Chains A and B, each alone.
Chain A
């Protein structure tokens, strides 16, 4: 049985000129595997991720024919039951630790929150938080635990974020561009840590990114989104067999070190693909 089933997911935002649909009928299922959702900004990939957690920002509206997590129907979940799921069984690593960590709370306190809000005693929560900091290869977990977010570098902040989201050992992790805000040199390191932790714990992962190549080396399956729709779904290994012109365009955009292309290729955007 699959962990997550999404059928005909639609997300609309009201605007002055009428409702705008940013996600328009997305379908997929996820097992205990690593799935990538790739697309440019505005393709609806991030909103898809948030809708799964029930966090579509106001005044947006998410609807679906089916949206179930491990047998639970998420569409009719009460606020209280949502809170029981979030932070314990599903969580999300966000893009930039500069903004996604609360600037006036010590890192340790934020790290313990997923546990303490769901009833774990303080002492136990602290022990597990420190363990988790060690697992994300922090050199001095005690100091990081006491530090405020601004005292950490971007890479450290993002590792703290990963630790925070994994500390409750969720079944499903959504990673929304987890390395885009980091220096290239740190990206690989952070990804490797994330990869290992996910593999060790055998959780389902949805990895949202705009970087097709990064994703292909890291995930099992790839969904390519364009203008709120999934235009292509493939196995990561079969990327070179991509049929859809948009996917091919994305692949062609990637620079190759040993070639010298003129003019640089541009990405085709055909209105018909969106229809």
Chain B
């Protein structure tokens, strides 16, 4: 009976929290759309002129002005734009002459694959490093991990990318260069998911798999290094906090081995906020991917965005910004909800 009420209360709490998070996210999304819309309006280029050309008569100009809806109020214009966006219409790219949604759907898997491999590297290396430096607080290893993190925070990622290419590709020839896959392997598999590592592996094209891996390893390691810097620092601070708790002493009193104390007792507590940190660094990787993809000619969202920028393709820029912003907000919301879910399961108040 009592257990049931507790569970019932947990459920209610979780629903209420979820509702409030969703409300916040809805408003944030609307704001995101509005800011993007505004950026599109402050472009110093006259959108009418770019349609009719500068030899048009006043009448032609006015007609185009009305056709673009520029005679309406800003709010009305926003509303029109909004309804289009919700129908999946982000306009057409001047550069590729295709609908921007299509373009983005095409390039997105490349970014997803890169970001995912990066976050795996960042997590798998970053968490143990953080734990290690927390356990050995103040010892040499703690300082080394701290410096590794600081270097990751300080180095410009595009420069690291160039230097990495120079060293590992041009000089040592250990990896493949820019791009996702060599042309020789491009047709040895069908890009069903667009995630080449998965596509090649499921189709048994192991030569191609190796080639894809040799392409992704450097950019993913670099981005992974960036998230590692953040993840290891946060892990260290969470673990230090947990290791100072009384329940750790309790475990020692019980004779629990040290590795279990660290990796089971303390880690289970640190894991709750750590999940949030990992989700956030995943979101941050999107940001890092813009510059990294440019350096590595990685045909993803980041490169699409910078290409459009360099060609003054404003619709595409805004579309890309919106999509990245939306994913960013979505991941933030996701980590927030996850935190509540994990936390409400085990703790008194959230």
Contact = CB atoms under 8 A, between A and B. Distances in A.
A188 to B, nearest CB: 24
Contacts of B265: 102, 105
A35 interface: no
Nearest to B244: A57
Given A96-B246, A143-B3, A150-B348, A102 B255 contact: no
B253 A117 contact: no
A94 B265 CA distance: 17
B249 interface: yes
A92 B255 CA distance: 11
A85 B252 CA distance: 11
A55 B248 CA distance: 11
B346 A104 contact: yes
A243 interface: no
Given A103-B347, A148-B346, A55 B6 contact: no
B347 A117 contact: no
Contacts of A32: none
B220 to A, nearest CB: 32
B15 interface: no
B249 A117 contact: no
A86 B254 contact: yes
Contacts of A164: 250, 254
Contacts of B260: 117
Interface string A139-183: 000010011101100000000010011000000000000000000
Contacts of B347: 103-104, 150
Given A55-B249, A94-B249, A143-B3, A103 B346 contact: yes
A106 B346 CA distance: 9
Given A83-B257, A86-B254, A117-B256, A99 B245 contact: yes
Contacts of B346: 103-104, 148, 150
A160 to B, nearest CB: 11
Nearest to A89: B255
B255 A86 contact: yes
B255 A85 contact: yes
Contact of B258 (A79, A88, A100): A79
Contacts of A50: 249
A92 B254 CA distance: 8
Contacts of B272: 104
A165 B246 contact: no
B268 A104 contact: yes
Contacts of B258: 79
B269 interface: yes
A53 interface: yes
Contacts of A86: 252-255
B273 to A, nearest CB: 12
Interface in A47-92: 50, 53, 55, 79, 82-88, 91-92
Contacts of B257: 83, 117
Contacts of A101: 247, 250
Contacts of B246: 94-96, 99-100
B2 interface: yes
Given A104-B268, A143-B2, A87 B247 contact: no
A102 B268 CA distance: 9
B251 interface: yes
Contacts of A94: 246, 249-250, 253
Nearest to B343: A104
A102 B256 contact: no
B347 to A, nearest CB: 6
A93 B82 CA distance: 63
Interface in B330-348: 346-348
Given A105-B265, A105-B268, A150-B347, A100 B249 contact: yes
A157 B279 CA distance: 34
Contact of A91 (B3, B245, B253): B253
A110 B269 CA distance: 14
Contacts of A87: 253-256
Contacts of A85: 255
Contacts of B251: 102, 113
Given A96-B246, A105-B265, A150-B347, A118 B255 contact: yes
A114 interface: yes
A206 to B, nearest CB: 13
A19 to B, nearest CB: 17
Contacts of A88: 255
A15 B194 CA distance: 59
Given A143-B2, A150-B347, A100 B247 contact: yes
Nearest to A57: B249
Interface of A: 50, 53, 55, 79, 82-88, 91-92, 94-96, 99-105, 110, 113-114, 117-118, 143, 146-148, 150-151, 161, 164-165
25 contacts: A55-B252, A79-B258, A83-B255, A86-B252, A86-B254, A91-B253, A91-B254, A92-B253, A96-B246, A100-B246, A100-B250, A101-B247, A101-B250, A102-B268, A103-B346, A104-B268, A104-B269, A105-B265, A105-B268, A117-B254, A117-B257, A150-B347, A150-B348, A161-B250, A165-B254
Closest 9 interchain pairs by CB?
A87-B255, A99-B246, A86-B255, A87-B254, A150-B348, A102-B247, A100-B246, A83-B255, A114-B254
Interface of B: 2-3, 6, 245-247, 249-258, 260, 265, 268-269, 272, 346-348
Given A87-B253, A104-B272, 17 more contacts: A86-B252, A86-B255, A88-B255, A95-B246, A100-B246, A100-B249, A100-B250, A103-B269, A103-B346, A104-B268, A105-B268, A110-B250, A114-B254, A117-B254, A143-B3, A150-B346, A165-B253
